[in-house]
Amino acid sequence: MKQLPKEYYELLEQLQAVDFVLVELTLYLDTHPNDYQAIQQFNQFAQKRKQLKKQYEETYGPLQQFGNSYSSYPWNWDDTPWPWQV
Partner 1 sequence: MFTTRKQYYPYISPFDPCPPIRVKTYVTAPNLYLGFQPPNLPQFSPHEALQKGTLWKVFYDPYYSPYEMANKGDYK
**Contact 45/16 with Cβ under 8 angstroms?**
no
Is 20 an interacting residue with respect to partner 1 (CB under 8 A)?
yes
Binder to partner 1 among 7, 9, 16, 72 (CB under 8 A)? Answer: 16
**Contact 42/26 with Cβ under 8 angstroms?**
yes
CA distance from start to end of the chain: 13
CA angle 75, 78, 15 (to 5 degrees): 100
Binder to partner 1 among 17, 40, 43, 70 (CB under 8 A)? Answer: 17
- Subset of residues 33 to 62 that bind partner 1, contact rule: CB under 8 A: 35, 37-38, 45
Binder to partner 1 among 25, 42, 53, 56 (CB under 8 A)? Answer: 25
**Contact 46/53 with Cβ under 8 angstroms?**
no
In the complex with partner 1, the residue whose CB is nearer, 37 or 85, is 37
Contacts to partner 1 by CB under 8 A: 13-14, 16-18, 20-21, 24-25, 28, 31-32, 35, 37-38, 45
